[in-house]
Amino acid sequence: MKTGRSDRDFVASVLARAGSPRVEGEWSPGDLVELAQAYLRLEDRLGKIIAIGDKYQAEALEASGRLRDALERLAEYEDRIAPARDGSGGDRGGVPEGEGDLAPRRAEDPLLVRIEAALEGGESPSPEDLRFLLRRYAKMNGRLEKIVRISDGYQGQLREASLRMDYMARTDSLTGLSNRRDMVERLDREFSRFGRYGAIFSLILFDLDDFKQINDRHGHDVGDQALRTVAYVFGKELRKTDVCSRWGGEEFLIVCPETGPAEAFLVGEKCRRAIGACSMHSREGELRVTVSGGVCGAEPGLGIDELVKRADDALYRAKDSGKDAIVSWPLP
Distances (CA, A) of 53 to 112, 148, 241: 24, 6, 45
Closest CA to 49 of 149, 133, 174: 149
Contact criterion met (CB below 8 Å) for 287 and 222: yes
Are 259 and 201 in contact, with CB atoms under 8 Å apart? yes
| Rounded-to-integer distance, Cα 216 and Cα 228, Å | 18
Eight-state DSSP code of residue 94? G
Query: Rounded to a whole number, what is the distance in angstroms from the first to the last CA of the chain?
Result: 57
Q: d(Cα 83, Cα 93) in Å, to the nearest integer?
A: 13
Q: Which positions are annotated as active-site residues?
A: 250
Say how far apart CA 168 and CA 43 lie, in whole Å: 18
